[in-house]
Chains A and B, each alone.
Chain A
Amino acid sequence: MSGETLLLVDDDRLVLSSLVEGLQGAGYRVATEESAEDVIDFCSAQTPDLAVIDIRLPGISGIELARWLKENTDIPFLFLSAYADTELVQNAAEYGAFGYLVKPVDTAQAIAAIEAALARAREVQNLKRSEAGLTSALVANRHISTAIGILMERHRLSNLEAFDTMRQMARSRRQKLAEIASDIVNAVEQLNLEP
């Protein structure tokens, strides 16, 4: 539909070939693997936009493969299965699946599920990235704000003046603002620790 790369994982070649044809016809780039071991190799070199995994693979199961993907990559996944008892579906949901297709899979149904999974996974990934950025900002900003307070008090500056002073220091020393701030806070901390 929009050129995303899908990785289809199923040990049933008949299922693979019928799905590949339909999905390629809809505009996706499609790669296939028949075992979880092959997927692990594949994903160490490439990053598909979505993995569509048969829940019952020989050897490492689809559920275990999903756990590996979750712990080692950012690749979202949905499951394919001939079974859909509530417990199995709940397990799939808890492992982080963005969809669950019941065999025999109709291509139109697969496309709808894939499009929804891609879009919702993108939202979750954006929120996770934003959270990581906010976490870094919280640590860095804490030092910057403390250093601003120190400079305000030491040089009788306003908040903005103190920030500008620190920014000029960072620029002239070719250091990052957070590094200068850390140096100021640590230096004052050491001085004030001395008896």
Chain B
Amino acid sequence: MSHQHDQNRPDDTTPVVDSHILIVDRDEAAREALHKLLSAAGYETVAVGDAITARASCRDAAPALVIMETHSGDEADFVLMRWFLSEHQLPVIVIEETPCSDGIRQAVRLGGHGFILKPISEPELIAAVEIATMRHRQWRELRLRNEEMTQALHTNRQISTAVGILMERHRLTDTEAFEHLRSKARASQRKVEDLARDLVDATCDLNLPAGNSPDFSRRDSRGRD
């Protein structure tokens, strides 16, 4: 494994890549050529020649992007690509010697961000790196926001139910009820959502007859509604 870093960038434009680029290619001359092109443009690279070293390098220090050669019909290449994409959520640019629509289709389906056909030109390589990095960053931010909103949806449900209980119990407005819950949480040094969950659970337990599941016919017999 070679770790290469070029301090002398040719211009003032800072690449958007915020870590090194991992190059995976069996051919040493091809690895060296890729390293030269990328380092001349100001990128730091780690170049490896096989899947085992590639995985070890990735575990050791996660790259910002992977550039790897795939060979049509070689399933091992796609297994490695899938590992980068699913285990490490890394953007992957695929290099192919010969254009093969099946290979492209498979790499696209797996999540490949870009394709470069040999012989590699510097402008195409730099463009692929910059675009893949930026779009992957956008995808990652969107996915994170989705996860946070899904979590918020669950957390807010408990808090809003607790707010409703307090509104009705203490004749409070929505804002007053939330403030009441928040001050109680602060006083007991607990999270608002934890306190809300306890309040909802306790109210639920109180309102349910012991050992019974919710049943509206019971409610009638107890004179509710």
Contact = CB atoms under 8 A, between A and B. Distances in A.
Nearest to B175: A189
Contact of B173 (A112, A123, A144, A189): A189
Contacts of B130: 86, 89-90, 92-93, 100
Nearest to B168: A153
B163 interface: yes
B6 to A, nearest CB: 14
B221 interface: no
B164 A131 contact: no
Interface in B181-225: 200, 203-204, 206-208, 214, 216, 219, 224-225
Interface in B37-54: 41
Given A116-B115, A130-B146, A148-B164, A158 B133 contact: no
A25 B112 CA distance: 24
B214 A89 contact: no
A134 B149 contact: yes
Interface in B115-143: 115-117, 121-124, 126-128, 130-131, 133-135, 138-139, 142-143
A141 interface: yes
Interface residues of A, number: 67
Contact of B114 (A113, A127, A158, A165): A113
Nearest to B164: A149
B200 A164 contact: no
Contact of A109 (B117, B131, B160, B161): B117
A164 B214 CA distance: 10
A89 B113 CA distance: 16
Given A111-B101, A161-B219, A146 B146 contact: no
A148 B224 CA distance: 16
A45 to B, nearest CB: 28
B115 A156 contact: no
A146 to B, nearest CB: 4
Contacts of A185: 164, 167, 174
B59 interface: no
B142 A120 contact: no
A156 B113 contact: no
Interface bracket on B: 35 or more
Contacts of A192: 167, 171-173, 176
B161 A146 contact: yes
A146 B166 CA distance: 10
Given A99-B131, A161-B214, A86 B208 contact: no
B164 A90 contact: no
Interface in A110-165: 111-113, 115-116, 119-120, 123-124, 127-128, 130-131, 134-135, 137-138, 141-161, 164-165
B16 interface: yes
A140 B161 CA distance: 13
Contacts of A116: 107-108, 112-115
A155 B208 CA distance: 11
A1 B167 contact: no
B139 A120 contact: yes
Contact of A97 (B131, B168, B204): B131
A87 to B, nearest CB: 5
B109 A100 contact: no
B109 A119 contact: yes
24 contacts: A1-B105, A84-B124, A85-B13, A89-B131, A93-B131, A93-B134, A96-B138, A109-B117, A116-B113, A119-B111, A141-B153, A145-B156, A145-B164, A146-B161, A146-B167, A146-B174, A148-B161, A149-B167, A149-B200, A153-B165, A156-B207, A158-B214, A161-B214, A185-B174
Interface of A: 1, 83-87, 89-90, 92-94, 96-102, 106, 108-109, 111-113, 115-116, 119-120, 123-124, 127-128, 130-131, 134-135, 137-138, 141-161, 164-165, 185, 188-189, 191-193
